Each structure stands twice: as structure tokens, then as C-alpha cells.
Amino acid sequence: MTQQAIPLSKSAHADSKLKPMSNFSHLVDQALVRLMPSELPRAAHDFPIVFMRQDGGLFPAALLGLKPGVNQFVDKNGRWLASYMPALMQCYPFSLAHKEKGRFVPMIDAAALSNTEGNALYTESGELADEPRVKISTVLQAVGQLGSAAKALASLEAMDLIIPWDISLTVNSEPVTLRGFFRADEQRMKSLSDAQVLTLWHSGALPMLYAHWFSLSRFSRLGAVLKLPASDASKLQAPEAVQ
């Protein structure tokens, strides 16, 4: 479902309401979503966590489907099928647009607005109501955490631990390759010195690594089996990796 994000403003939306949300069909075409470092341990139980590059930096993301525009965790009735929903999805219909010098503009999906039904966006005193205030605050928190994640992943790259990853899968007996991702190399991790491991611990990178490796078993939830050529099998030895 295409979303039309527009700037949220008190002058334009003082009398607007948020439509009641009965299902999650608005997420049906979102096959990837960025993750905050603080939610990686929880997300790892439901989704494969991959690393992606954007604007020169890396960030962690949950893989929700094996085709662009297909979220396999939303069924035809709009029901959410996983036990956990990533924080940025929970914040719908709110998002942020970067303006300048670290400033951001709150955005809202125009399809979520109504003049007649739902809860008011603003109180009678002109302040944001509780729901939009909390959700926008969470999105702002995500921006800060994603910045921290980029720094932590940069420290991993500096140690040559992050490598390009074309994900080779077998789906319904057919080969599928997902390109443009990155992963952490556990074999290279084992070659680090104690001082380097301590540096990664202080950077916050180690918990991200463990969540990433643990999550690789979740490819099976997408109806896929992760395959690696025999010559490369030693490069991925996460304890629960799908063979």
C-alpha cells in the first residue's frame, strides 16, 4: 500500500483526527525495515537481521520478505504474523524527513487522516495528543540510535569484519539471490586481539553481532533455506544458521 507522507503541522492539522487502525495492511509492501540497536535482541527471534548501506553508512534491518514490495508477515486480512513488530512500524503513521543541520520535520501518512473519525491529533490547548507525541518521540529516538549503530558498524568495517553478502537461498526448490546486503564474518572475528574485542564491546557493536548471527536461523520463517557453496561454508558458523 503506497504511503503519502506529508508534513505534520498544528496549523494544517489542528482539527484533524487519526483514523482507527483495524489491521496492518499498510505494511504489506514493506519488505525491509530499519532496526534500532536496542531492539535487535527481540527482533532476532522473528526476523533475519541484515546490514545495509545508505548515505555512506551501514545500518541493521529486518528482512520481512524475499521479494521487493512483499512483506510475508502481513496476511491477506492485514493481520501481523510475528510476535514482535519493529519499532518504526509501530510508529505508523508517523515518520521524519531530514531538513538541514540535523533538523527533522515530523511527517504523517495522509491516508491516516480524517476530519470526522478517530482520535484528535492535537489537544484543545494546541499540544500534540499522547499517541502522536509518543510515536514521534520514538522515531526521534530511532534516528539517534541508528546514528550510534552506524558508528559501531564503522568500527567493525575498520577491523575488516563486515563483508558484502549476496544472499543465496532456495525457495520452493528454486534458487533465489538477494543482492546488496552485508554480514559479519565470524571467522574473522575469531582472529581479533583481546584489545580489539574490548574496543568492540565499548562501541556497542558486539550485541549487534550476536543478534545478527542468531537471527540467521529465521530465514526458515520466510520459507527459505540459506545456502552457501561448500568452499564458503566456514565463513558462516552462527550456532543456529540454517544449513
Q: For 82-116, write each residue's pLDDT tens digit.
A: 999 999 999 999 998 876 666 788 899 998 999 88
Per-residue model confidence (pLDDT) at position 243: 25
Per-residue model confidence (pLDDT) at position 63: 95
Per-residue model confidence (pLDDT) at position 242: 30
Per-residue model confidence (pLDDT) at position 220: 86
Per-residue model confidence (pLDDT) at position 240: 33
Per-residue model confidence (pLDDT) at position 109: 92
Per-residue model confidence (pLDDT) at position 230: 41
Would you give the distance in Å from CA 188 to the centre of its chain? 25
- Residues with pLDDT less than 70, the chain: 1-2, 99-102, 228-243
For the record, the C-alpha cell of 88 comes out as 518504526
Per-residue model confidence (pLDDT) at position 172: 84
Annotate the chain with DSSP letters as a single string: ----EEE--HHHHTT-EEPP----GGGTT--EEE--GGGHHHHTTTS-EEEEEETTEEEEEEE--SSTT--TTB-TT--B-SS---HHHHTTTEEEEE-STT-EEEEEEGGGEESSSSEESB-TTSPBPHHHHHHHHHHHHHHHHHHHHHHHHHHHHHTT-EEEEEEEEEETTEEEEEEEEEEE-HHHHTT--HHHHHHHHHHTHHHHHHHHHHHGGGGGGGT-EE---GGGGGG---TT---
Per-residue model confidence (pLDDT) at position 235: 40
Per-residue model confidence (pLDDT) at position 2: 60
Per-residue model confidence (pLDDT) at position 236: 36
